[in-house]
Chain A
């Protein structure tokens, strides 16, 4: 028998506070149970977290409108047995324009997928939070999406520890000379033409793109923005970074495929008008 005052009587007394606050961006949601949703969010304080939002699929829910993907919110959460439960939520920036355009939805979803796939729960990284927040903010204000996404990709690689080596050859460590180069996904950086024979899988890249990659990698946003990246270089860059992400994740991302199908459709529906003015 346990008596009051017995120290064993203190079982289960939590040594942490029952509720906690987070400032976060909503990444994605998944229907859960009867009327709940499982929300994945990226918080400033604790990095990626998952939490349950109770009853948000009901019409009368006061929370549902605040928990749409891409919103920036303040949350009050209660520690649950398994996942925390969202008890209060308040929007800081809704970024609703990101959800009102099909292209913006797909680009924002792409950023979200990158962050979701490359991060693990409860590992704080305020840089990633800031990057995503700034990128959402600029996209919602009409910034050029292709540039924003490329800049995000390079800065994101910096913050998560996969910064590609772009100034010296990853094999011989010699400085890169101004000539066409190769890129090794396995070694995560540029390979010079002399070392290329040792790495048959190295991927050919143009010197021009390499320059823009370096520029985006080490510049502040304001400086990087001044660069006018030629369309062909943009295509090359998108393809290289896409391959690099696929290599790192050992799987394909879902969103690039979606972005392509949206682009194809836009061409289908707008082309006839351009042909017959």
Chain B
């Protein structure tokens, strides 16, 4: 017996999600079939809302709810407006916010430079960042792209573009992660950890 079309449709839809194969998709579909109606209803509604109610902030390109003029972080009066942290995507903002140690604003590039994939500077929100820096009183830009080849390329590109503006440009430190082992550290990280070593006893 072929799978009835409504079920097959759900299975096909789930299979398109990352990390979900046809087996998992089938299990999820049959689970929803036997679960209370509200569960499927809530899921469907929240997925629709996700695409219609979430937009990007026109200032920092972080995600925000529809109808807001700018995102919660950009609106927050208590935040240091002279500090902008540049990240690759909105997930990075969430990661930094979870730590709660940063009190400035963000700028989401919505991607990272990649010569091989053909992602050039004009594909990222770099012109918007420059405009923002020219129009606002900003003291420091923290470049928080990932410590990968693409992240480094983006950081170097930004550094060259931002240099003429005469503000402080910093990059997140890189070194040994907590709980790691020197023995397994790669040469690049070890060199960075050595050159970026810090005085002890100074908080």
Question: Which residues of A are found within 8 Å of B157, using beta-carbon distances?
Answer: 102, 262, 265
What distance in Å separates the Cβ of B156 from its nearest Cβ neighbour in chain A?
5
Contact of B188 among A94, A258, A266 (CB under 8 A): A94
Query: CA A28 – CA B188 in complex, angstroms?
Result: 17
Across the interface, do A254 and B161 meet the contact criterion of CB distance under 8 Å?
Answer: no
Question: Which residues of A are found within 8 Å of B18, using beta-carbon distances?
Answer: 33
Across the interface, do B189 and A59 meet the contact criterion of CB distance under 8 Å?
Answer: no
What distance in Å separates the Cβ of A275 from its nearest Cβ neighbour in chain B?
13
Q: Is B116 an interface residue (CB 8 A)?
A: yes
Contact of A261 among B121, B152, B189 (CB under 8 A): B121
| Residue from B113, B156, B164, B186 having most chain A Cβ neighbours under 10 A | B186
Question: Which residues of A are found within 8 Å of B117, using beta-carbon distances?
Answer: 254
Task: Tell me the residues in window 1-56 of chain A with beta carbons closer than 8 Å to chain B beta carbons.
Answer: 28-29, 33-34
Question: Which residues of B are found within 8 Å of A69, using beta-carbon distances?
Answer: 149
Question: Which residues of B are found within 8 Å of A64, using beta-carbon distances?
Answer: 186
Across the interface, do B149 and A94 meet the contact criterion of CB distance under 8 Å?
Answer: no
Interface residues contributed by chain A, number (CB under 8 Å): 38
Segment of B4-12, B62-70, B132-140, B177-185 in the binding face: B177-185
Q: Which residue of B lies closest to A89 (CB)?
A: B186
Query: CA A80 – CA B174 in complex, angstroms?
Result: 33
Question: Which residues of B are found within 8 Å of A242, using beta-carbon distances?
Answer: none
Question: Which residues of B are found within 8 Å of A265, using beta-carbon distances?
Answer: 121, 157, 160-161
Task: Tell me the residues in window 200-244 of chain A with beta carbons closer than 8 Å to chain B beta carbons.
Answer: none
Q: Is A144 an interface residue (CB 8 A)?
A: no
Q: Is B45 an interface residue (CB 8 A)?
A: no
Q: Is A79 an interface residue (CB 8 A)?
A: no
Q: Is A257 an interface residue (CB 8 A)?
A: yes
Query: CA A80 – CA B187 in complex, angstroms?
Result: 28
Across the interface, do B161 and A96 meet the contact criterion of CB distance under 8 Å?
Answer: no
Segment of A110-118, A119-127, A151-159, A166-174 in the binding face: A110-118
Across the interface, do B19 and A34 meet the contact criterion of CB distance under 8 Å?
Answer: yes
Across the interface, do B184 and A62 meet the contact criterion of CB distance under 8 Å?
Answer: yes
What distance in Å separates the Cβ of A101 from its nearest Cβ neighbour in chain B?
7
Across the interface, do A254 and B186 meet the contact criterion of CB distance under 8 Å?
Answer: no
Question: Which residues of A are found within 8 Å of B180, using beta-carbon distances?
Answer: 60, 62
List residues of chain A with CB under 8 Å of any chain B CB: 28-29, 33-34, 59-60, 62, 64-66, 68-70, 91, 94, 96, 99-102, 105-106, 109-110, 112-113, 116, 254-255, 257-259, 261-262, 265-266, 269, 272
Which 6 pairs from chain A and chain B are nearest by CB? A65-B186, A254-B118, A109-B115, A62-B184, A258-B115, A102-B156
14 further contact pairs, Cβ within 8 A, besides A65-B189, A265-B157: A33-B18, A65-B185, A65-B186, A65-B187, A69-B149, A70-B149, A91-B186, A100-B156, A105-B152, A116-B116, A254-B117, A255-B115, A265-B161, A269-B160
Interface pairs (6), CB distance under 8 Å: A34-B19, A60-B179, A65-B189, A99-B152, A265-B157, A269-B164
